[in-house]
């Protein structure tokens, strides 16, 4: 599990421009998993770049990854309530992870229904795959966004989108 919380930590968030980035099963070992898809990217370098952008935009960040499906569900269902916005890459592309996808989908729909912005991010273009995992999470009544296929840039775009949503983005 990777967890990178900014100075104040998740427990002290008071809903002032706080972002939770969740990375689910299959994303902990990006560079070794499939270098053709992920290049030389590591989760640590991704976390570092996300933290640097959040710092520049005045956002608090809690960046997490787990390969434990139960822990991921708990983070989605419980911890996300402590944040103003959530960015999630729910699962790495793997047929074994498809079982949990519906569980994640229902938890994300619950967050979105609370009118908190949720942005689903995928490093690769998920539409190249031909299974149920290629269907983005969605909640018609909530605030959902979706970015895929832009590599690390997808996370940075999602952070900028939340900053604008929060009104916290500095002119850069």
Domains defined for the chain, CATH in brackets: 2-166 (3.40.50.9100)
Average pLDDT over the chain reads: 77
**What's the confidence (pLDDT) of residue 107?**
75
Contacts of 32 (CB under 8 A, 6+ apart): none
pLDDT at 126 over 90: no
**What's the confidence (pLDDT) of residue 85?**
93
Query: Which member of 38, 93, 104, 155 is catalytic?
Result: 38
Q: Which pLDDT tens digit goes with each residue over 51-99?
A: 999 999 999 999 999 988 788 888 888 888 889 999 998 876 555 555 6
* 13 labelled catalytic: no
Query: Which member of 13, 93, 104, 122 is catalytic?
Result: 122
Q: Is the pTM of this model over 0.75?
A: yes
pLDDT at 1 over 50: no
* 129 labelled catalytic: no
């Amino acid at each position: 599990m990777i967890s990178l919380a900014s100075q104040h930590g998740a427990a002290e968030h008071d809903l002032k421009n706080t972002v939770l980035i969740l990375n689910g099963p299959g994303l902990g070992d990006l560079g070794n998993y499939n270098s053709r898809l992920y290049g030389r990217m590591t989760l640590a370098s991704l976390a570092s770049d996300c933290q640097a952008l959040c710092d520049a935009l005045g956002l608090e960040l809690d960046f997490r990854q787990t390969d434990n499906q139960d822990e991921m569900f708990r983070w989605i269902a419980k911890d996300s309530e402590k944040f103003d916005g959530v960015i999630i890459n729910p699962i790495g592309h793997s047929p074994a992870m498809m079982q949990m996808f519906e569980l994640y989908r229902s938890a994300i729909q619950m967050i979105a229904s609370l009118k908190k912005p949720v942005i689903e991010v995928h490093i690769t273009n998920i539409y190249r795959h031909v299974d149920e995992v290629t269907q983005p999470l969605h909640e018609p009544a909530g605030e959902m966004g979706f970015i895929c296929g832009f590599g690390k840039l997808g996370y940075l775009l999602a952070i900028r989108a939340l900053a604008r949503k929060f009104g916290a983005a500095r002119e850069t």
